[in-house]
Structure 1
Amino acid sequence: MTMGDATTFPVLSLLLGLPLLGTGFCLLFRRNADECRWASLATTLAVLVVSVWCFLQSPGPDGWYLVEDYRWIPWLGARFTLAMDGISLLMVLLTAFLQVIAVLISWHQKKHPALLFSLLLLLEAGLLGVFLATDLLLFYLFWEMMLIPMFFLIGVWGHGRRVYAAVKFFLFTLAGSLLMLVAIIGLYLLHGRQTGDYTFALEALKATNCGALEPWLYAGFMIGFLVKVPVVPLHTWLPDAHTVAPGAGSLDLAGLLLKTGVFGILRFAFPLFPASAAASLPALAVLALVGLFYAAWCAYLQEDVKRLIAYSSISHLGVILLGLAAGSRLALEGAILLMACHGLTTGALFALVSMLRRRTGTRELAKLGGLWKEAPIFSWFFLYFSLASLGLPGLANFSGEILVFAGTFQTRPLWGALAVLGVVFAAAYMLRMVQGVLWGKRPPGRPWVDLTWREGLTLAALAFFTLWLGVQPGTFIEPLHLPVQTLLEGTRLLAAAGGAP
């Protein structure tokens, strides 16, 4: 895939610059919490407006919506290159929207509010950079940049064993990132020795003849990405991080950070190492199916609602990885769409659990029950997003899952049949959670108040797009056609999967 001409106005740089400016403002005026709250909300809304403008544009004949390329470190061969195709566009939209939600659900945070909002904006800048960078060194810097704000969000604003969870998150993801860095340097040197052109540009590196080193370089990239997904058995950091993280931290973890691993596989690992990618599809499918069933079983056994949802995320990511392993256009488009769907539905559930804990002081199923009568609006949203996460037809997750299952049946019927059984497990743990929270015997204690107007509007926005993705998924699938087809044609995934469309 070749990139089109750079845009006259640096829209992509603006996307990155806005949250960085907001971060600076919050740190500069950190003594005024109200100003920081409104500045953070205004910044995230501005990023959302620019993202929507990008969505309304038409891609070029090569599939790229916008491209920017600037000199950065000439002696090292690194450039500041940003590019947006249909896949990154969907991820940018998801990031921009969920960060508005993250600011709103953190509105009444009393502990160091200015620092909290500055970290949320810094995290947004890092995420946007990951989804837009096409220079591998630039991508790696943004990849590491995401670690810092999330580490502090968990370690400072979490509860319980927050330091343990933050350090575990940091060590797991850093270890995977260092392996990826070694692979990046190896690819950079190999390409330079072959061509005399030492560069980190993705398009140039695709032409590198890796020879016997390809499986090792591919493994370095994949481990870094699979830790972030995460796959079983590299997943243990995620439930611990979710359990102690604040509401905005859990929303960003489930809704956005987990998606960076899958995006990295699609943008870098598969295109750079097509032969190894094709050979690894069966192993990737095994990891996907193991994660789907194991995490679903663990979710059913949980007594903490937040931990249950955390394991459900791992199970859903198993379906997404299966879509990648299937190697068909339909399954790949479904997997990418499911990333957005999962970000909305699971992010909403984590926001609801944060609101639930503020009202009840607990997340244990044994200490909940009878909420339907006392807080009917909250209960309606909780049921709505639980059913969406379950894959109810007409809501978000169903549209992505049905494409993944249909595409997998085209190429690997056995894989598809096994994955469909995972829906039964999902029904078991989600219905157990709904029963325990909304119905049953009301434990003694103070009355549980319903949603505030701000909480209601926040959840209503999430509910609207969850419905939109369920009934009109074509709006977001259409931009994926060309980049997915290009990915399949540029690699051996289609042939490895059996040649299905």
Structure 2
Amino acid sequence: MTSFPALTLLLLLPLAGTGLCLLFRRKPDLCRAVTLATTLVMLALCVWAFCQQPDAAGWYLREDYPWIERLGARFTLAMDGLSLLMVVLTTFLQVIAVLISWHQKKYPAFFYALLLLMEAGILGVFLASDLLLFYLFWEVMLIPMFFLIGIWGHGRRVYAAVKFFLFTLAGSLLMLLAIIGLYLLHGRQTGDYSFALEALRNTDCGAWEPWLYAGFMLGFLVKVPVVPLHTWLPDAHTVAPAAGSLDLAGLLLKTGVFGILRFAFPLFPASAAASLPLLAFLALVGLFYAAWCAYIQGDVKRLIAYSSVSHLGMIMLGLAAANVLALEGAILLMLCHGLTTGALFALVSMLRRRTGTRELAKLGGMWKEAPIFSCFFLFFALASLGLPGLANFSGEILVFAGTFQVRPLWGALAVVGVVFAAAYILRMVQELLWGERPPGHPWPDLTTLEVVALAPLVFFTLWLGLYPETFLAHLHLPVKILLEQAAPLVAAHGGLP
């Protein structure tokens, strides 16, 4: 590991960019340039980290500084293979978010400042190893999204923003209570009041463990989201601006799954093991229910929003299977979903700018009208469906393989869910690309800037589909360590690896 404070720099850069955007708020072109430059520098820093080698404990980078010593809180940041992939995904998608919002006209400086502030919050969630610091970043990332939906959204944007905020805030407060309870229990047992993850992992929670675990899990499951805690997501996606939907689908939903893997499972392994059947049930219900809801939607964006809930059900099934294959597949599927569904949301926003609508009944004939748009849309729709050779397939096949090892019935039910996914994806593609073209003005095809924004997503969708080992190699050690720390998870499935 290096002594260079790369992790701190990853958090300071977007905060500095936020300040510059607000300082030069009367110069929107300068704010755009500052935002793009900031996100590119951060992506380059993450690519450098991606090329490093971890130490024996699995850490690529680790930094620890005094913070609130009276409370036992420290500014501790750490990057293992899991957080590395999430950080790379965050910095990559934020570059795309800036590009697809390049011509933002409404309060551009404030808009770009919020994008950078949200990026800082999300990165902090993926890097924090102190629970108080983690909670601070968890709350920070919610505020920019609230304003992005409430100010730059359309339709019932205020309703959707408030609903998003209330759902996530309620879950966050329950998690805060659980963090405080764990902190006090550990302090009373050891005399050392600390929020450090490594220290709290050794706490004997006794009869309080199920309640503390429930507090953490409710905070995370709202963010995933699982059915029935999902109702805020379709509303938020439907009205959010392009960059907001991209960040919601690609990044914010992943923080809930990450929190389960990083905090809930290692801190409360016995309760986690007991909850696996319930998690599997919720995952399968979400997989089928959301797929059915997606099939009956007339709004393309709302259809894709429900498809996100269904895909997250597959990811949660991987967590419930809790073995090496399933966990690696679930994490890989998080990356794939971020790319493919994020791209679909970006394309739907581009479609609405051209046509003024997202209703399938008012669209059609895009293959002849806008062939470049149609090629991109078909590519990402098939990737979202799980076509072999494209991103989602590699993650899904690992989840299936791992689930069949421990609970064949769960795996068999999940395979049936793929049929539902094919139904709503192919219906959307058929009606949008080859349906009857309604009368009206011609619709222009994608611009050069839009093609430039989408091309990297195509490249990595192919990379993840054709050779996922580049990314899986970073997961072998952290997944092994996670299962060692949470041994009851393995025992719950009969000791299978």
Q: What secondary structure, in the 3-state scheme, does the structure 2 residue paired with 1:336 have?
A: helix
Alignment equivalent of 2:346, drawn from 338, 343, 351: 351
CA distance in 2, matches of 1:456, 1:283: 43
Offset from partner CA, 1:129-173 (integer Å, 9 cap, x none): 000000000000000001100000000000000000000000000
Give the Å deviation of 1:353: 0.2
Alignment equivalent of 2:284, drawn from 286, 289, 308: 289
Q: What secondary structure, in the 3-state scheme, does the structure 1 residue paired with 2:289 have?
A: helix
Q: How does 1:142-153 map to 2 (within 5 A)?
A: 142-153=137-148
Q: How does 1:356-435 map to 2 (within 5 A)?
A: 356-435=351-430
Does 2:481 correspond to 1:486? yes
Does 2:34 correspond to 1:22? no
Q: CA RMSD in A?
A: 0.6
Q: Equivalent residue for 1:277?
A: 272
Residue type at the aligned position of 1:429: Y
Give the Å deviation of 1:440: 1.4
CA distance in 1, matches of 2:113, 2:431: 36
Q: What secondary structure, in the 3-state scheme, does the structure 2 residue paired with 1:280 have?
A: helix
CA distance in 1, matches of 2:493, 2:250: 29
Alignment equivalent of 1:59, drawn from 35, 54, 63: 54
Residue type at the aligned position of 1:364: E
**Alpha-carbon contact 1:411-1:499 (below 8 Å) kept:** no
**Alpha-carbon contact 1:179-1:221 (below 8 Å) kept:** yes
Q: What secondary structure, in the 3-state scheme, does the structure 1 residue paired with 2:474 have?
A: helix
Give the Å deviation of 1:361: 0.4
Q: Which runs of 5+ in 2 are unaligned?
A: none
Give the Å deviation of 1:498: 2.3
CA distance in 1, matches of 2:276, 2:190: 30
Q: What secondary structure, in the 3-state scheme, does the structure 1 residue paired with 2:62 have?
A: strand
Q: Equivalent residue for 1:188?
A: 183
CA distance in 1, matches of 2:415, 2:257: 21
Does 2:195 correspond to 1:200? yes
Q: Equivalent residue for 2:36?
A: 41
Residue type at the aligned position of 1:190: L
CA distance in 1, matches of 2:496, 2:467: 25
CA distance in 1, matches of 2:408, 2:494: 11
Alignment equivalent of 1:112, drawn from 107, 110, 114: 107
**Alpha-carbon contact 1:177-1:224 (below 8 Å) kept:** yes
Alignment equivalent of 2:450, drawn from 451, 455, 475: 455
Does 2:92 correspond to 1:92? no
CA distance in 1, matches of 2:494, 2:376: 42
Give the Å deviation of 1:8: 1.4
Residue type at the aligned position of 1:147: L
Q: What secondary structure, in the 3-state scheme, does the structure 2 residue paired with 1:82 have?
A: strand
Give the Å deviation of 1:327: 1.2
- Residues paired across the two proteins, number: 496
Q: Equivalent residue for 1:126?
A: 121
CA distance in 2, matches of 1:139, 1:474: 30
Q: What secondary structure, in the 3-state scheme, does the structure 1 residue paired with 2:473 have?
A: helix
Q: How does 1:8-19 map to 2 (within 5 A)?
A: 8-19=3-14
Q: TM-score, normalised by structure 2?
A: 0.99
**Alpha-carbon contact 1:327-1:496 (below 8 Å) kept:** no
CA distance in 2, matches of 1:290, 1:242: 21
Q: Which runs of 5+ in 1 are unaligned?
A: none
CA distance in 2, matches of 1:40, 1:30: 12
Residue type at the aligned position of 2:496: A
Q: Equivalent residue for 1:497?
A: 493
Work out the percentage of aligned pairs sharing the same amino acid: 81
Query: Once superposed, which parts of structure 1, at least 4 consecutive aligned residues long, lie more than 3 Å away?
Result: none
CA distance in 1, matches of 2:411, 2:32: 46
Does 2:136 correspond to 1:141? yes
Q: What secondary structure, in the 3-state scheme, does the structure 2 residue paired with 1:258 have?
A: helix
Residue type at the aligned position of 2:145: M
CA distance in 2, matches of 1:497, 1:107: 50
Offset from partner CA, 1:3-60 (integer Å, 9 cap, x none): xx7x411000011111111000000000000000011000000110000000000000
Q: What secondary structure, in the 3-state scheme, does the structure 2 residue paired with 1:71 have?
A: strand
